[in-house]
Amino acid sequence: MKLWASILTVFFIAVSLMVPAASKAENSGWSIESVSFTSKTGGDVYPGSTGAVLEVGVLYNSTQNAYNPSACITLPQGFTLRSPQCSMPVNYTLGQPVSAGYLLEYRYIVDVSKNLEPGVYGFTLNITYYQQTTLETAILNGFVNVSEYPPLNITITDVYWSPVGYPGSYPTTLAIEVENDGSTTIQQLEAWVRLPGLFHLTSNKSTLQVLAEGERGVLTYNNIWIDPAVSPGVYNGSLYVEATLQTSDGVSYSYSSQLSFNFTVDQPPNLQLQVLDYGFTGDVVLPGLNNTGFRLTLRSLTTSTLSNIYIEAHVENALFENYSSVKTMVSNTVLNYGDVLTLSFNGVSIFENATFIRVHLYIQAFQNQQGTSFPTSTVINIFIPLNTPPLNITILKTYWFDGVAYPNSGSNTLVVEVYNSMSADLRDASVELNLPDAFYPNRIVVQGVNIPHFSITRVEFNGIYVKPGVESGCYTVQVFVRGLLYNNDGSSKLASMILTGDIEVSNPALIASATTPPEISSYYWGSGTPQYVYPGNGMAPLSITIYNPGPLPLSPIVISLTPGDRGILVLNDNLTLDAVLQPGSSATAVFYLNLENASPGLKIFNVTILYGISGGSTHVLFNVTRTIRLYLNEWGAGSGLELVSAGWQNNYPAYPNSSRAVYTITLANTLPYQVSGVWLRLKPPSGLKASTNYSL
């Protein structure tokens, strides 16, 4: 179009050289001095202009006056008169003479076809007038110019991301600010943007409505994803524009253009994370510890919201449970400014010779800024030393279970109290006791011992024999402990330690002085309850009650009874009490005596008590002798017994010359106590013979 316009302009200039701008009618005295063809707003006339104003200035130079000059215009095809074709000058009063040198102005309202090509077009002006009484005619030719549409002239004044444009941003908006530098109003602007391949658009089209001359508007392209692979820097884009323009007189037309622009992808800001605390998850951390962990507490100082946090940990001097020095994790926690996040990495096994571990943390998160998310990252390095103090497990006390142990004593139990002052447990431990040569055996092992944290555990070693002839005094023992150290976080390590303690072998002479010998608290004839016993009784019971007044239990207790009367025979002269005689308690021993040869009167018995100290872990028995006195009453035969009945058995009669007849006697005990040892002698009359005596 621009090339055509140039050719047309040259043609117009050539025509102007041949045809004067204000043509003169031959011998008429009329000539066109000026032609003004403007839009109804005073601007250029374009194809499609309506109400354009055509003003033709006609000069009259004749010596004779002219009257009532009316001009009829003839326009080429494509021009349509809106006003009458013939008109009088706008600066002329009807009937007035027009003298030489008078410039008449004719005005026409013209519509230009939309299909008319821009260019120069000729028109004919037919002027009719009167000179005196004669009607004259003058024909003049003039030219009008139809301009080309003004081009679309827009300038890109700014390009920016909203709210941000970092690698990985989504969804973000590319804003392109344009300015209408043209001479027309942009009624509608449609712009298609083209970006490099790593910028992904859901729609590359944006539209602006009315944009007046000199005004600015912003084209926005929403929901753009900037690929994370994009490097920060300056990139080039292009904009293809199709616009609907409108001239000042309301002519609308379309125009297209293509522009290029530069835009910037910025380096994303680093994560602003503050390390508040870090350390091991276990309380007791030693080289070689298995399945422990470390924790890290962070505070977000990033002003925007963080989400989808990805952490990659690289550890030195240790391995994770997958035998790798690298472990990743994802946290779905949403962090706002000031929020705190604790990260825990478990399954860490520390090298046996390590004195520290160093952790390199690469942390990436998505920042959310005004609805747009973008990845951002930071690196944190932490150094965690290993604390390797001695294991805080000590022997609190060692003692004999029974309180003391003496030379030549067996079945002793040694108790070792182990105090664990750590916050870790020692589980499934083997505890080995090593004793000096004064003891047998020298080595005793107890398996499966658990020593919880902050607690005292008692370990018992049974069956210790103190050899004869061992001097009393203090002996040093060695305890070797080997077990699994378990932390509060489940981490573990095989740990061992050697502990020492002291044990004492007591002097046996101290046993006797440590307690009071047993005493005879009571004694009486009878078993369980007192009863009368008389001479002639073949098995008379004698009960002796032994009382323990001392502070220690007594066991065993052996009691011997020796009568001072030779007519008395002790049937069970030694009795052993089975039960342990506790302090303050009593036990009764029952002896049975044959009194068939005894005579009535006061009887004296010697009681010997052999006793051991229960828990003394020694076989030494001590003895004490006491004397008791009891009176043996005399009682006539049959006293207190009454004959109830006597007769042949079952009341059957007996006949002369019969044998083995049974004679039955029934007796009644009228005494208030049991009668034992009744002997009967039957003296039959002459002619009868009893075969034997009876005892009850």
Q: How far apart are CA 448 and CA 441, in angstroms?
A: 20
Mean pLDDT confidence for 356-374? 93
Highest mean pLDDT among 17-21, 298-302, 691-695: 298-302
Least confident window among 22-31, 239-248, 263-272, 635-644: 22-31
Q: Is the dihedral of CA 441, 442, 445, 449 positive or negative?
A: positive
CA distance readout (Å), 327 to 274, 321, 628: 21, 9, 90
Average pLDDT over residues 439-445: 94
What pLDDT does residue 85 have?
A: 96
- What is the DSSP code string of 342-375? EEEEEEEEE-TT-SEEEEEEEEEEEEEETTEEEE
List pLDDT tens digits, range 395-433.
999 999 888 888 878 888 999 999 999 889 999 999 999
Are 298 and 277 within 8 A, CB to CB? no
Over range 348-371, report the average pLDDT: 93
CA distances from residue 597 to 274, 539, 569, 586, 660 in whole angstroms, order as listed: 108, 12, 9, 33, 33
User: Is the Cβ–Cβ distance between 560 and 607 less than 8 Å?
Assistant: yes
- What is the pTM for the complete model shown? 0.58
Q: What is the mean pLDDT of residues 533-547?
A: 91
> Which residue in 554, 549, 550 sits closest to 614, CA to CA?
554
The Cα–Cα gap between 228 and 233 comes to: 13
Q: Which of 634, 628, 632, 633 is nearest to 562 (CA)?
A: 628
Could you tell me the domains of the chain?
2-146 (2.60.40.1230), 154-265 (2.60.40.10), 273-385 (2.60.40.10), 393-507 (2.60.40.10), 512-632 (2.60.40.10), 641-695 (no CATH)
493, 286 contact by CB (below 8 A): yes
Whether 615 has a pLDDT exceeding 70, the answer reads no
More confident residue, 691 or 105: 105
The residues, ordered by sequence, that sit 6+ positions from 529 with a Cβ below 8 Å of its Cβ are none
| Residues pairing with 425 in the sheet | 486
Mean pLDDT value across residues 162-182: 95
For residue 95, give the nearest of 127, 125, 130, 59 by alpha carbon: 130
**pLDDT above 70 covers what percent of the chain?**
92
Query: What pLDDT is recorded for position 650?
Result: 78
Average pLDDT over residues 597-611: 92
Q: Per-residue pLDDT averaged across 231-237, rounded? A: 96
Distance CA 277, CA 295 (A): 8
Residue type, 298: L
Dihedral of CA 589/542/620/623: which sign? Answer: positive
Residue 126 banded pLDDT, cuts 50, 70, 90: very high
Across the chain, mean pLDDT equals: 88
